[in-house]
Amino acid sequence: MKLYSYWRSTTSFRVRAALNIKDIPHEIVPVNLVEGEQRAAPYLALNPIGGVPTLVLDDGTVLTQSMAILDWLDAAGFLPRLMPEDPIARARVLGAAFVIACDIHPVNNLKVLNYLKERLGHSQDEAVAWMRHWMHEGFTAFNELIEPGARFCFNDEAPDVADLCLAGQMINARRWGLDLAPFPRLVEIDERLRKIPAIAQAMPEAQPDAM
Amino acid sequence: MKLYSYWRSTTSFRVRAALNIKDIPHEIVPVNLVEGEQRAAPYLALNPIGGVPTLVLDDGTVLTQSMAILDWLDAAGFLPRLMPEDPIARARVLGAAFVIACDIHPVNNLKVLNYLKERLGHSQDEAVAWMRHWMHEGFTAFNELIEPGARFCFNDEAPDVADLCLAGQMINARRWGLDLAPFPRLVEIDERLRKIPAIAQAMPEAQPDAM
């Protein structure tokens, strides 16, 4: 498999971590979002929205959207599972994960920030305030939705997709200086997650395109 | 079941249509987003991000996030399925659905538009241009990701979650005057979808809280 990925992309991170946890051999193909490689014709032919990640299977099948790829990795039988088998437990994990995947991340995406700055004339400070606003609001809800008292977001044994979404979003929270004081449990879970080698190896600084 | 829903919410629409297609008895509980009912304490206790829809099962279990609820409705065995059983086919349907659920909808959410207008001082015209931009970009990609030549987005027989996301987003596209000329296939699929009684009954104008 080939994973098209950008080192600082938190959606790429989710899939990198899942591939590592499931011990699936793969090649990382860097896509430089800052230089606009995601909008070049060869990449758009793979991923028409021009985002990362994209997973290309050995038979050439192309899968896009991190949450669809995570779903596929479980559906295709790669172990360990990252979503519970029980439908209600699964719905709760996904309900929390989508707070990050839908309510936080898309609104803070690079292309959205570029629109704010380039087309609407906002400063970097205003863009950072925007990002912090959605992270604060989303983390507040996420914190309510996860299982009280568990070592990870929902269980004591191993991370699931809610944990991968959290660990990814925490990369951006630290990068953009979100005040994490209101979220001690999220900080604690994130520290636990970053000690897992499969997750540490998915972090931005461990990527071949890290700068 | 009780579905907390707002008539014009396209994420509520997705779940209303799924409940109708699966013929699941349910009560619609309107949440008036314009009057801020989603930020009142009783509703936040159910859905801490303050969004719609929320599905409350007869035993009191609370499910949030439209894409997690759609996933649960299939996982729990309600028929007909709205996602293919084959993992690759499922990943392709979800990959398209998430272009709408992640790349378009969250960026055009009421709370994001309110931030643009109230905190950043943008006009309604600038907010509408913003919405049209993300819809145009997302529909362009969605159109590339769906199955060429099928009657619906991916098959000839029946709608799936990509179709429900499309029909919901088309409500907003028409409301905000997106130029649909570049998307004749999406218009055609949407017309076909709106003729299905279960989908027609999920439309905003058929809701108890329609104004």
pLDDT tens digits for B120-139? 999 999 999 999 999 999 99
Q: Which two tokens stand for residue B187?
A: 């218009």
User: Closest Cα to residue B169, out of B17, B40, B2?
Assistant: B17
Whether A102 sits inside 8 A of B48 (CB atoms) is no
CB B130 within 8 A of CB A112: no
Domains of chain A, first to last: 2-80+200-206 (3.40.30.10), 87-196 (1.20.1050.10)
For chain A, percent of residues with pLDDT exceeding 90: 100
Tokens representing residue B205 in the block: 């104008």
Q: How far is CA A184 from CA A89, A180, A189, B145, in A?
A: 24, 7, 9, 41
Phi, psi for residue A57 in degrees, rounded to 5:
-75, 165
Mean pLDDT of chain A: 98
| Residue type at position A137 | E
Q: Are A10 and A171 in contact (CB under 8 A)?
A: yes
Q: Which of A92, A103, A112 sits opposite B49 (nearest CB)?
A: A103
pLDDT for the residue A151: 98
pLDDT band with cut points at 50, 70 and 90 for residue B196? very high
Torsion of CA A88, A89, A95, A100, to 10 degrees: -170
- Give percent of chain A above pLDDT 70: 100
- What confidence score (pLDDT) does residue B132 get? 98
- Under the banding of pLDDT at 50, 70 and 90, the label for residue B161 is very high
**Nearest-Cα residue of chain B relative to residue A85:** B75
Task: From chain B, pick out residues whose CB is under 8 angstroms from the CB of A75.
Answer: 87, 90-91
Structure tokens at B50: 């303050």
Contact (CB<8Å) A144/B94: no
The per-residue pLDDT for A19 is 98
Q: Do A94 and B68 touch (CB under 8 A)?
A: yes
| Cis geometry, peptide bond prior to residue B80 (ω within 30 degrees of 0) | yes
CA quadruple B124, B189, A103, A175: dihedral positive or negative? negative
Average pLDDT over residues A41-51: 97
pLDDT value of position B26? 98
Averaged over A80-94, what is the pLDDT? 98
Q: For residue A177, give the nearest of A209, A133, A138 by alpha carbon.
A: A133
Binary contact (B98, A140; C-beta < 8 A): no
Strands (E), A10-130: 27-30, 54-56, 62-64
pLDDT of B121: 98
CA Rg, chain A, in Å?
17
* Mutation site for B-interface testing, chosen from A22, A69, A94, A145 by largest number of B Cβ within 10 Å: A94
Alpha-carbon distance A127 to A108, whole Å? Answer: 9
Q: How far is B197 from chain A (nearest CA, A)?
A: 27
Beta bridge mates, B62: B56
Beta strands per DSSP E along chain A = 2-5, 27-30, 54-56, 62-64
pLDDT of residue A21: 98
The H-or-E segment that residue B5 falls in is: strand B2-5
How far apart, in whole angstroms, are the C-alpha atoms of residue A134 and residue B114?
A: 13
Cα–Cα distances (Å) from B178 to B14, B131, B137, B138, B146, in that order, read 20, 9, 11, 12, 20
Q: What is the mean pLDDT of chain B?
A: 98
Name the band, by pLDDT with cuts 50, 70 and 90, for residue B34: very high
Please tell me the distance from the alpha carbon of residue B164 to that of residue B199, in angstroms, as a whole number.
Answer: 8
Chain B residues in contact with A77 by the CB 8 A cut-off are 87
Give the per-residue pLDDT at A49.
97
pLDDT reported for residue B5: 98
| Chain B residue numbers touching A105 (CB-CB < 8 A) | 102
Of B68, B91, B107, Cβ closest to residue A95: B68
- For residue A60, the model assigns a pLDDT of 98
Mutate to test the interface with B, among A4, A43, A59, A64 (most CBs of B within 10 A): A64
Residue in B65, B68, B106 closest to A107 by CB = B106
Q: What is the pLDDT of residue A94?
A: 98
Under the banding of pLDDT at 50, 70 and 90, the label for residue A140 is: very high
Closest chain A residue to the Cα of B126, Cα to Cα: A120
pLDDT band at B10 (very low <50, low <70, confident <90, very high): very high
Sorted by sequence, the CB contacts under 8 Å of residue A209 that are 6+ apart come out as A5, A6, A7, A28, A30, A32
Amino acid B158: pLDDT: 97
pLDDT of residue B109: 95
Q: Residue A181's pLDDT is what?
A: 98
Given an 8 Å threshold on Cβ–Cβ distance, is B141 in contact with A101? no
Query: In the structure, what pLDDT confidence band is assigned to residue B88 with cuts at 50, 70 and 90?
Result: very high
The predicted model gives A180-208 an average pLDDT of 98
Please report which confidence band the pLDDT of residue A59 belongs to, taking 50, 70 and 90 as the band edges: very high
Size of interface A-B (CB pairs under 8 A): 120
Residue A132: its pLDDT value, please?
98
A71 with B90: Cβ contact below 8 A:
yes
pLDDT at B194: 98
Residue A87 distance to chain B (closest CA, Å): 6
On whether ipTM exceeds 0.90, the answer is yes
Contact A120 B115 (CB under 8 A): no
Which has the closest alpha carbon to A176: A140, A211, A126? Answer: A126
Which token pair is A75?
């559906």
d(Cα A93, Cα A146) in Å, to the nearest integer? 8
Measure CB to CB from residue A115 to each of B51, B133, B145 and give the nearest one.
B133
Three-state secondary structure call for residue B49: coil
Per-residue pLDDT, B144: 98
